[in-house]
Amino acid sequence: MRHLLFMAVLSALLGIVPQPEKVEEMKGNFRIAGATFNCEMSLDRESQNLISEFADRLAMISDRTVSFAPSPTLRSNAASGLLKGVCFLLDKDKISGEYSLEVTPKYVLVFASDFYGFTYALQTIRQLLPPAIYGTSPAPGEKWVLPCCKITDKPRFAYRGLLLDCSRHFFKVEEIYRILEIMNVYKLNRFHWHLSDDQGWRIEIKKYPMLTVAGAYRSGTQIGRERGSSDGIGYGGFYTREEIRSVVAYARKLGITIIPEIDLPGHMQAALAAYPELGCSGGPYRVRTGWGVSDQVLCPGKEETFAFIEGVMDEICDLFPSEYIHIGGDECPKTEWEKCPDCQARIAALGLTSHNGVSKEQRLQNYVTERVQKYLASKGRRIIGWDEILEGELAEGATVMSWRGTAGGIKAAAAGFDVIMSPNIYCYFDHSQSTELSKEPLGPTQNPKRAIPLEKIYSFEPLLNMEAGATSHVLGVQANLWTEYIAEPSHLEYMLLPRLLALSEVQWCNKEVRDYDRFRAEVAGHQSAILNIMGYTFRPVD
Ligand code: TNX
């Protein structure tokens, strides 16, 4: 017991977030400034580049030469205990992302089986160094040593995501890079990019140029929470194909997969403004200026609608290598479909009926989901959809993102679907970080009970109330940063930080390792220093 307590105290001192699975601190230090970095010859090119870039950065910041070279004798040296410098070796028995790190006064030894494992090992090493390593200017006066320790570590969940809504407000590529960089520090690996919605279409599609010519701009923006208001100031923007490609490549270097979302068949008013023939009434439509749910949705009665979706998906698949494509599926009112002769004709032709409490129009949405799922499957891709896709019938192979609490996720996992937990009560970073709403920026939170303080997100247990047999279907956890009320990058970062750090422990750490007091102290101390030196805006810890 005393021994356990002692270890807990020592591991707290290392100040790593997310907390590694096992940490043992020993006496002494390893001098890393001026060290040689070596790796096995057989390490893949991406991992070698990663290590080499880290060594270059350390050299620049510590103002000492740090060399890097693959070494043919490293493995035999390791076997005979002759290691020197910082050594990176392969251990094929480790799972993707897993690593071990041993720091002694003579050497640092890292084992991993893949690029992700080396990525996380380096992030851990970075957190063991003075915060100046996160800066851009030389800091030769800092103590460039690593504390002697033994760490073994691996992620609890394979999917560790963050959604950014770039439709309600548009964020330039530079800001996207900053979000990816901070995700990298805290070992997140999926960036869910919400690229289309009623209030703006944000990605260039060659086949449908009006999507960005018309669909990317709105005539104004709702003022505060006042429904129906507009500031009358034109607003918009979109990402070019080149920009998308560079963001995807940058994310890849950081070990992050980008999952694009084209939200359909609801949340499509901006696309309808560009191509009104895709709606039930034929329009005219305007890019929406206010928040909330639009009843103007795609018309699945017409074949052109599917030609459009497929044309868009062709280009999405061309730009994004991700196996998963998010197709939305949330909040799709059926009022237009009920009145639309084309939709009703399609319902009749398919023989869809209202039964078991599911309307024939909901079954028409199931048809849309399945048809798009099949099309994407023909291109080797899989779909993720919001939990509404569970209503009625869902075809095998779909992954459900549970946002209306965890109930949808629990139900989906029990039915054999893969699940990503993103419940709005814990994971909606558009909500206030404090119950003292008047002291926080204006947002959607009107009831203090809906606030999501740091401790609340930290307390989220993704597998609670789930049958043991279903838990393996939970791929992971994601937080969603919706931006109806967030227009500026500094506000965006404020909403994200430090909650992203709490999220990272929910995603990465086993339950037993999590400890709010330790975490809070680390955030208030070392982690705040990191965020400061990286220049992020963040909410100070209470
Ligand atoms: C619900 S989560 C939405 C979003 C909003 C968000 C605001 C989801 C699938 N739909 O469209 O931005 O609430 O909190």
Please give the number of the atom of ligand 1 that sits closest to the Cα of 331: 10
Q: Which residues contact 424 (CB under 8 A, 6 or more apart)?
A: 403, 404, 405, 431, 480
Residue 423 corresponds to which tokens in the numbers above? 């419940």
Q: Which residues contact 210 (CB under 8 A, 6 or more apart)?
A: 274, 275
241: enclosing H helix or E strand: helix 241-253
pLDDT at residue number 1: 42
Q: Is the distance from CB of 433 to CB of 454 less than 8 angstroms? A: yes
CA distance 150 to 340: 65
Q: Which residues contact 438 (CB under 8 A, 6 or more apart)?
A: none
CA distance 326 to 258: 10
Residue 175 corresponds to which tokens in the numbers above? 């800001």
CA dist list (Å): 323 to 79, 376, 412: 39, 10, 20
pLDDT at residue number 13: 66
Catalytic residues: 197, 267, 331
Residue 93 corresponds to which tokens in the numbers above? 């028995």
Mean of the per-residue pLDDT values of the chain:
96
Other C-beta atoms within 10 Å of 177: how many?
15
Q: Which residues, in sequence order, are bridge partners of residue 160?
A: 477
Residues with CB under 6 A from ligand 1: 330-331, 386, 403, 428, 430, 444, 482, 484
CA of 329 to the centre of ligand 1 (A): 11
CA of 12 to the centre of ligand 1 (A): 37
DSSP conformation class of 19: P
Q: Which of 420, 482, 484, 492 for mutating ligand 1's site (highest number of atoms within 8 Å of CB)?
A: 482
For residue 265, whether the previous peptide bond is cis, meaning omega lies within 30 degrees of 0, is yes
CA of 481 to the centre of ligand 1 (A): 9
176: enclosing H helix or E strand: helix 173-185
pLDDT at residue number 361: 98
522: enclosing H helix or E strand: helix 516-522
Task: State the DSSP string of 276-325.
Answer: GGGBSS--------S-S--S--B-TTSHHHHHHHHHHHHHHHHH---SEE
Q: Is the distance from CB of 284 to CB of 276 less than 8 angstroms? A: yes
Low pLDDT (below 50) residues in the chain:
1-12
Other C-beta atoms within 10 Å of 22: how many?
14
Please give the number of the atom of ligand 1 that sits closest to the Cα of 328: 9
CA distance 441 to 438: 8
Q: Is the distance from CB of 424 to CB of 438 less than 8 angstroms? A: no
Nearest CA to ligand 1 atom 2: 403
CA dist list (Å): 340 to 331, 337, 347, 542: 19, 5, 11, 53
Nearest CA to ligand 1 atom 9: 330
Residue 262 corresponds to which tokens in the numbers above? 């084209």
Q: Is the distance from CB of 35 to CB of 86 less than 8 angstroms? A: yes
Please give the number of the atom of ligand 1 that sits closest to the Cα of 480: 2
Question: Which runs of consecutive H residues, i.e. helices, occur in 138-240?
Answer: 173-185, 210-213
Q: Is the distance from CB of 18 to CB of 519 less than 8 angstroms? A: no
Please give the number of the atom of ligand 1 that sits closest to the Cα of 403: 2
CA distance 127 to 121: 10
Q: What is the pTM of this model?
A: 0.97
CA distance 436 to 434: 5
∠ Cα 155 156 157 (to 5°): 90
pLDDT at residue number 278: 98
Nearest CA to ligand 1 atom 5: 482
CA of 482 to the centre of ligand 1 (A): 7
What angle in degrees, to the nearest 10, is found between the helix axes of 45-62 and 115-128?
A: 10
Nearest CA to ligand 1 atom 12: 482
Q: Which of 267, 331, 429, 447 for mutating ligand 1's site (highest number of atoms within 8 Å of CB)?
A: 331
pLDDT at residue number 14: 86
CA proximity to 143, closest of 57, 51, 11, 29: 29
Query: Which tens digit of pLDDT belongs to each residue from 343-396?
Result: 999 999 999 999 999 999 999 999 999 999 999 999 999 999 999 999 999 999
